Structure 1
Amino acid sequence: MTIAKVSLDCKNIRDWESFHSEFAQVFGFPAFYGRNMDAWIDCMTSLDAPDDGMSNVHCEPGKVLTLELANVASFAVRCPAQYKALIECAAFVNWRRLEVGSPSVLALSFWYTRES
């Protein structure tokens, strides 16, 4: 499926296990997904390459997929390591692609308020 935006509710993330389960479910990662951040990076790096078989969600080549996150503030407090890894690894996905001459593929969108 080719789309421009994916929504993920961070309220379902409580630990590393639920982090990887949520992303695997929302993005349709393959059965061999390693459930670690290296594997997450590999899957997200291929968002514009359906033939790689790394997810069921794709954007058009040369386009950016926006990952819209809900309930980020409570996630950041509840799971600071997962929150930090998500931010850093999303940035790394784009850096890795730019290093080999490919365009960025992933944008994060969220509103971080103390009330959320």
Structure 2
Amino acid sequence: MPSASLNGEIITGWDSFHSESAKAFGFPEFYGRNMNAWIDCLSYLRDEDGMSKFRLKENEMLNIEVLHSEKLRQHAAEILEELEFCIAAINERYDDYGEKPALKLILR
């Protein structure tokens, strides 16, 4: 299964979260650096939309690993909560299209 890692040790706020995300997921230069743009970039991983470096096969999932997740929870709990919420929303969008979920959050 493909995976992307976010380093919770260096995510101290929204700016660093979006920088880490852009790097980990290969978002395009014009990535809007907000959670609406984050959701848009990860909503069509099984299509050729060019919004991420990942292209999933049918029924394949992308593991999103948050390394040092306890550090992130200590310094920016709202980011971790929003990440969990957005992943659930994206998976719900896939379900609405009759597809299996595409994202799995792993806290390490």
The answer, yes or no, to whether TM exceeds 0.5 is yes
Structure-2 separation of matches of 1:83 and 1:59? 24
The 3-state SS of whatever aligns with 2:9 is helix
Pairwise CA RMSD: 1.3
Report the Cα offset of residue 65 of structure 1.
0.9
Separation in 2 of the partners of 1:82 and 1:23? Answer: 12
CA deviation digits over 1:50-78, x for unaligned, max 9? Answer: x2011112322321111122100110110
Distance between the aligned counterparts of 1:4 and 1:60, measured in 2? 10
Change (3 A) 1:58 1:11: farther
Match of 2:104 in 1: 107
2: CA distance between counterparts of 1:8 and 1:48? 21
2: CA distance, partners of 1:100 / 1:61: 13
Q: Match of 1:20?
A: 18
Counterparts of residues 40-51 of structure 1 (less than 5 Å): 40-49=38-47, 51=48
Q: How does 1:1-116 map to 2 (within 5 A)?
A: 4-49=2-47, 51-111=48-108
Is there any run of 5+ residues in structure 2 with no aligned partner, and where?
A: none
Deviations 1:25-53 (A, max 9, x none): 1111011211111110111112222x201
Residue 10 of structure 1 contacts residue 75 of structure 1 at CA under 8 Å; is this kept in 2? yes
The unaligned stretches of length 5 or more in structure 1 are 112-116
When the two structures are aligned, how many residues end up with a matched partner? 108
Q: Deviations over 1:69-106 (max 9, x none)?
A: 21001101100211111010011110111112122100
TM-score with structure 1 setting the length: 0.85
Q: TM-score, normalised by structure 2?
A: 0.91
Which amino acid in 2 is paired with 1:71? H
User: Once the 2 structures are TM-superposed, how far is the Cα of residue 9 of structure 1 from its aligned partner?
Assistant: 1.5
Identity within the alignment, %:
37
